A and B are shown apart, each in its own frame.
Chain A
Amino acid sequence: MSSPQHSPPLISLRQVHKRFGTGAPVLQDINLELASGEFVSLLGPSGCGKSTILRLVSGLEPASSGEVRAPALQGGDAAQTAFVFQEATLMPWASVFDNVWLPLRLQGVSRSAAAPLVRQMLARVGLAQTEMAYPAELSGGMKMRASIARALVTQPAVLLMDEPFAALDEITRQKLNSDLLEWWQRQRLAALFVTHSVFEAVFLSQRVIVMGARPGRITAEVTIDEPYPRTAAFRNSIDYARACQALSQALESAHQGEVAEP
């Protein structure tokens, strides 16, 4: 088991329920823990409340009942938690540099004081040459790299990612998956990664939490007991294929009896 059960969890959800207004429950009885430095994926179909869990953990939405403990909710430093959305969500009127500077700028760090850190992050994500470019001038993959650089620039303890690579082509996606693991290991942050791709979840995660829809609930948890660094060779290994198969089965049994979405 790679999950470091002995250390106190950085994030925990206990018996969390969530509904919007008087609508049907979106999340039901969610119990989930994430240790410092752990990589966990949430896997499930659209509408199963995966993204809502990220919003609860980031403090963007309150839980209807139950307990959510996360750095973003404990008053401390706002920059402890970073969020990467499905779209790159860059400010189109600002250069790549200014976009990455934003989280520091909001904390009152001047442009010149932030510059070394911003440039270091841009170099890390491979955008050193494009700091003065505008988002409209970048490809989809480069935009997402800028978005990740913005998330990492505050050296957060928690990185929340909401299907960040879903809109990218397969080659770009695989490259970003490999790079993401490298950045994650380097910064030792806890990552909660939402995806609906079995292959992506297996490649990235130490644990995969499988969710079902209507209402959103956790139906299984699969541990991917493979060492890091995971390289392209891992994708071609028998172990990877076996893990994908096991996870697919877990996903399938989670949805037995459910009506397929239109």
Chain B
Amino acid sequence: MSSRVWPGLASLILLLLGWEVLVRWAEIPSYTLPAPSLVARTLVENFSSLAGSWWFTLKITFGALALACIGGVLIAAVFALSPPLERALFPVAVILQVTPIVAVAPLILIYVESTAAALLLCAWIVAFFPILSNTVVGLRAAEHNLRDLFRLYRATPVQRLRLLLLPSALPYFVAGLKISGGLSLIGAVTAEMVAGTAGRETGLASRILEASFRTETPKMFAALTLLVATGVLIFVAFNALSRVLLGRWHASESGRID
């Protein structure tokens, strides 16, 4: 474990040290590039006001991700059961996926009255496709001999889904979840950027915009630090989840070098 963590941590510390030294040595003004120590101080000093925005962004991110999981898996199950329906609806899913969210977010903000709901919708659009497409593939990935075995023992459709198709799809779903976790944060932040500082509740992206209008660069970095921390946290959490779910049986995890 530690042999995997230390090299990454060391390079991060070196990077921060180099940054600190550069800013001090070259006397770069803080409105251009604040030193990491100043960013940390700003973060601590403004934490109580930033925490509310952080919480808002977290709600949008995880709300969208939860809806993406539910929607992605349900639609995948429908697609798996009905190929004609898949052929009819998959193009819509693809259109949702390929349209740049920055371009549709202003429209969504017009049509959806609640800003929070509009942000949730934007983040969901970005997050749900990887889960959908991976789960669709996963539900079809059951080994054909195992399918035959279930037929031979005359398994019911529910038994087949529960004991064969869903477990076979799990590694694919988890891979989709890892991608969607990061994407839902990106979707939430992008939508917030488009929404600007409107609305009663605002997230971290709005705080970054607000700080940039006032040239409060250290505060921009402080909010950015929280966003990066959230992204890293999501990454670490889903990797851990993947190990728990697949560790003992799936090659993607059991082949891991510890």
Residue of A89, A92, A103 ringed by the most chain B CB atoms within 10 A: A92
Q: Give 1 or 0 for each of B62-78: 1 = CB within 8 Å of chain A CB.
A: 00000000000000000
B145 touching A106, Cβ below 8 Å: no
Most buried by A among B146, B150, B153, B164: B153
Distance in Å: Cβ of B173 to nearest Cβ of chain A: 13
Q: Residue B248 at the A interface, CB < 8 A?
A: yes
CB distance from A130 to the nearest CB of B (A): 13
B103: interface (CB < 8 Å)? no
- In the assembled complex, which residues on chain A have CB atoms less than 8 Å from the CB atom of B146? 89, 91
Nearest A residue to B150 via CB reads A106
Task: List residues of A (48-82) whose CB comes within 8 Å of B's CBs.
Answer: 58-60, 72, 78-79, 81
CB of A147 to closest CB in B, whole Å? 10
- A157–B250 Cα distance when bound, in Å, is 34
- State whether the Cβ of B152 lies closer than 8 Å to any Cβ in chain A: yes
Q: Which residues of A contact B154 (CB under 8 A)?
A: 78, 106
* B149→A89 contact, CB < 8 A: yes
B146-177 contacts to A, CB under 8 A, are 146, 148-155, 159, 163-164, 167, 170
How many residues of B are counted as interface, with CB atoms below 8 angstroms from the partner's CB atoms? 21
> What's the Cα separation between A258 and B237 when bound, in Å?
61
CB of B30 within 8 A of chain A?
no
Q: Is the CB of B152 within 8 A of A58?
A: yes
Taken together as a complex, chains A and B put the C-alpha atoms of A78 and B153 apart, in Å, by 5
Residue-wise, chain A 86-109 has the 8 Å CB interface mask toward B (1 for contact) of 010101111000000011011100
Q: Tell whether, in the assembled complex, residue A93 and residue B249 are in contact, meaning their CB atoms are under 8 Å apart.
A: yes
Verify A83–B149 contact, CB threshold 8 A.
yes
B201 within 8 A of partner (CB): no
List A contacts of B149 (CB < 8 A): 83, 85, 89, 102
Of the candidates B150, B155, B159, B254, the one whose C-beta lies within 8 Å of that of A136 is B254
Q: Is B143 part of the binding interface, using a Cβ–Cβ cutoff of 8 Å?
A: yes
The answer to the question of A135 belonging to the interface, with a C-beta cut-off of 8 Å to chain B, is yes
- B145 lies within 8 A of A85 (CB): yes
How far apart are the CA atoms of A78 and B159 in the complex, in Å?
15
Q: Are A106 and B155 in contact (CB under 8 A)?
A: yes
- With a cutoff of 8 Å between Cβ atoms, the chain B residues found around residue A87 in the complex are 145
The reply to whether A106 and B248 form a contact with Cβ atoms under 8 Å apart is no
- Whether the pair A79, B153 counts as a contact (CB closer than 8 A) is yes
Specify which chain B residues have a CB less than 8 angstroms from the CB of A103 in the assembled complex: 153
Whether A93 touches B159, Cβ cut-off 8 Å, given contacts A60-B148, A78-B152, A106-B154, is no
Measured CB to CB, the closest approach of chain A to B146, in angstroms, equals: 6
* Nearest A residue to B247, CB-CB: A134
Q: Name the residue on B nearest A154 (C-beta).
A: B153
CB under 8 Å from chain A, chain B span 211-258:
248-251, 254
CA distance A85 to B164 in the complex (A): 17
Q: How far is the CA of A72 from the CA of B152 in the complex (A)?
A: 8
Tell me the minimal C-beta distance from B94 to chain A in angstroms.
Answer: 30
A60 to B170, CA, bound (A): 27
Q: How many Å lie between the Cα of A18 and that of B256 in the bound state? A: 46
Given contacts A106-B153, A106-B154, contact A136 B249 (CB under 8 A): yes
- For A89, give the chain B residue with the smallest CB separation: B145
- Interface members, chain A 95-129 (any B CB < 8 Å): 102-103, 105-107
User: B250: which of A83, A92, A105 is its contact (CB, 8 Å)?
Assistant: A92
Interface pairs A-B: 5 shortest CB-CB: A89-B145, A78-B154, A93-B167, A106-B153, A92-B249
- Provide 19 A-B residue pairs closer than 8 Å at the C-beta atoms, listed in order of the A residue: A59-B152, A60-B151, A78-B154, A81-B152, A83-B149, A85-B149, A91-B164, A91-B167, A92-B250, A93-B249, A102-B163, A106-B150, A106-B155, A106-B163, A107-B153, A134-B248, A136-B248, A136-B249, A136-B251
Interfacial residues, chain B to chain A (CB-CB below 8 A): 143, 145-146, 148-155, 159, 163-164, 167, 170, 248-251, 254
